[in-house]
Each structure stands twice: as C-alpha cells, then as structure tokens.
Amino acid sequence: MASEIVIQTMSLHKRYKTTHALNDLSINVERGDIYGFLGPNGSGKTTAIKLILGLIRPSSGNVLLQGENVFANPFKALSKIGSLVETPKFYSYLSAYENLMLSGRLLGNCGPKEIFSSLDRVELSRHSKQKVSTFSLGMKQRLGIALAILNDPEVLILDEPTIALDPQGMKEIRDLLKQLRQEKGTTIFISTHILNEVEQICNRVGILKKGIMIYEGKVSDTLNPNEETVELFLPEMDKAFPLFSALSYVKKVERGPHSILVLLERGHASEMNRYLHQQNIDLEYLVPKNPSLEDFFIEITKGEQENA
C-alpha cells in the first residue's frame, strides 16, 4: 500500500523584500513518520513551519496538510493538527487550564477530562489553576506541548519543543513523543537544534541551509553503516601519517594537533592496528568515533559553527 503523505510543501518560496528566506522548499512527511527538521540558525526552519501552519503567506508555492490546502481551507487542513511554534505565547493573565479551555473550544470534544489528561502528560496538572504569568519558561514550554496534544492530533508540528527544558524534561518530552508515535501512530514533524534528539527519535530527516533543503532522507542513511572513524594517538605522528596511504580500506586521513583521524571501511580497525605495529609504530590509544548525525550535519552544512 502506498504511504500517505500528510505534510506536503510544494516549491515553497518566501521572500522578504530582497531576502529569500525560503527557496523552492519541498517537504514530504509520510503518515507515521517522526521527521526531524534541521538547519543552522537562520536557515528558515521557523519560517517554514509558520508557512506550513498558514500563519504566514508564501511568495509562491503551496502547503497541503492531510491533503487539504492550508491557505484555502484552514478549517479542514488544521482540524487534526497539533502545533507548537517557537516559545509558546499564552494569555498570561489566564490560568493554564483557561488557556487550554479556550483553545479546546475551537476543537470540539475537549472538556475538562481532556484538558487535565493533557496537563497530566506534561506534569502540569497541579499548576492548572496558576496564572501563566507566574510560569517559568520551561513550564510554558510544557504547557505549549499540552496545548499541541490537546485534541489527540494525528499530526504534531513542533518547533523546538525541548528548548528551555532541563535534561530530565527533555527526556520526558522525547519519551512522550515516542509514546504518541507508538500508541496512537501520531505523525510528528519536529524542528530542533539538538541533533542527538533527532538521532534518538526520528526516522526521517530534512536539513535546511539558507532556505534550501540540502538533504532529505532516512536518519539511518546519514549514519553510514559501512564506514567508521577512529582517532589514533601516536607519539610518532610524522612517521605514521604517510603509512595510511598504502591501506586500501582507508578512505580519509586527517591530521590534528595531537592525533590522527582515520575514516576507514567498517571492520578494518584491528587490521590497521596490526599493520602499524608491524611498521614499528607505537600506538598509545585507538578511540573509535561512532558516526553520528552531528558529523553528517556538520559535513553537509559545511561546518557552520552556529548550529547545534
């Protein structure tokens, strides 16, 4: 059976006067995906999310949410969507419960039971009567997530949901998202700076750079299973460095100030170790460097420093 695309952007373009914030952005998120949306600061992630939710208008292009045009038919397009855009802005003079209650009135079937269940999931039910103005940033973030999951949405669109949360809170939200995916089959589109988070929970990833999608694919494909990197600490680096060129399974060698970084075909590390020993090279340490999404991200975005 063909997989159903639930979030689809078609050649989205957003221009601000002379600046092109997004250029020809096409995203396809399939039902059941947990899609990580990555990019350095200022790459256009939040602009893309605002466009997807119809909060801003594209200069050209279109957005379909569950097959409905979000600009022409927001009522249908947004009916099964939960979202959190940037740091959530609430009516600070109202309580957490009241904020959810007002939003819930527009969703139907959102009574006190659903509101408290949603608050419970982010551990805010005991603060339900507290005014939002007294909330910390982390509590507001949790409340934003409670708001997003209030109507048991089929699709969740989250813009940096774990920002401002402590490590424990981050883990809880990650677990909650995984749980929603497992129990209810919720499709999740998540923009984040925390690459480790994406690696842990996402199956697909899109990487944006300067408003252009430079990679879209499976997370597993970014973690090359055929290669591995090892870092070698040697007292005689000058003597050892030229020797690697003789090894066919070595793909790349980089010399650092205190070590040599070797990219090689997986499973050849011990062979390389023996070879160095035969060449009378003393090896102090061999540190395996697991390939990570972070490496891939830095590589593909050409190592821009401002990212995660």
Partner 1 sequence: MLNLLYIELYKIFHQRKIYIFYIIIMAFSFLFVFVTKNLPSADGTTIPLLLLQTVASLIIPIFTIIFQTDLFISEFRDGNMKLLLTRPISRPQLFFAKVLCLLVLVGSLYLLTFILSYILGGTMIGFHMVLDNEGGWSMFFNDMFQTSLMYLVSVIPMLAFGLLVGILAMFIKSNGTFITVSIIAIFAMSIVGDLFKKVQPYMITTYFTSTTKLLGDTYPIEHGIWLGWAVVLSYILFSGWLCYALFLAKDMEV
Q: What is d(CA 101, CA 109) in angstroms, rounded to the nearest whole number? A: 11
Question: If 0-12 CB within 10 Å is exposed, 13-18 middle and 19+ buried, where does residue 206 land?
Answer: buried
Q: Which is nearer to partner 1, 65 or 165 (CB)?
A: 65
Widest pairwise Cα distance in the chain: 76
Q: Which is nearer to partner 1, 50 or 193 (CB)?
A: 50
Apex 67 CA angle, 19 and 173, nearest 5: 75
Find all residues with CB under 8 Å of 123, minimum gap 6, and list them: 142, 172
Helix (H) or strand (E) holding 273: helix 269-278
CA atoms within 13 A of residue 198's CA, in its CB half-sphere: 31
CB of 142 to partner 1, least distance (A): 16
CB of 73 to partner 1, least distance (A): 8
CB of 47 to partner 1, least distance (A): 9
Q: How far is CA 264 from the centre of its chain?
A: 28
Q: What is d(CA 167, CA 146) in angstroms, rounded to the nearest whole number? A: 18
Q: Which is nearer to partner 1, 101 or 253 (CB)?
A: 101
Q: Which is nearer to partner 1, 98 or 295 (CB)?
A: 98
Q: Which is nearer to partner 1, 90 or 297 (CB)?
A: 90
CB of 11 to partner 1, least distance (A): 19
Q: Looking at residue 80, what DSSP letter applies?
A: T
CB of 182 to partner 1, least distance (A): 25
At 242, the amino acid letter reads P
CB of 16 to partner 1, least distance (A): 9
CB 39 within 8 A of CB 62: no
Helix (H) or strand (E) holding 221: helix 219-222
Q: How far is CA 26 from the centre of its chain?
A: 17
Q: Which is nearer to partner 1, 27 or 132 (CB)?
A: 132
Q: Which residues bind partner 1 (CB under 8 A)?
A: 50, 53-57, 74-79, 81, 83, 85-86, 88-91, 93-94, 98-99, 102-103, 105-107, 147
Q: What is d(CA 180, CA 157) in angstroms, rounded to the nearest whole number? A: 13
CB of 302 to partner 1, least distance (A): 28
* 3-state SS record for 26-41: EEEEECCCEEEEECCC
CB of 100 to partner 1, least distance (A): 10
CB 203 within 8 A of CB 34: yes
Q: Which is nearer to partner 1, 131 or 251 (CB)?
A: 131
Q: Which is nearer to partner 1, 103 or 192 (CB)?
A: 103
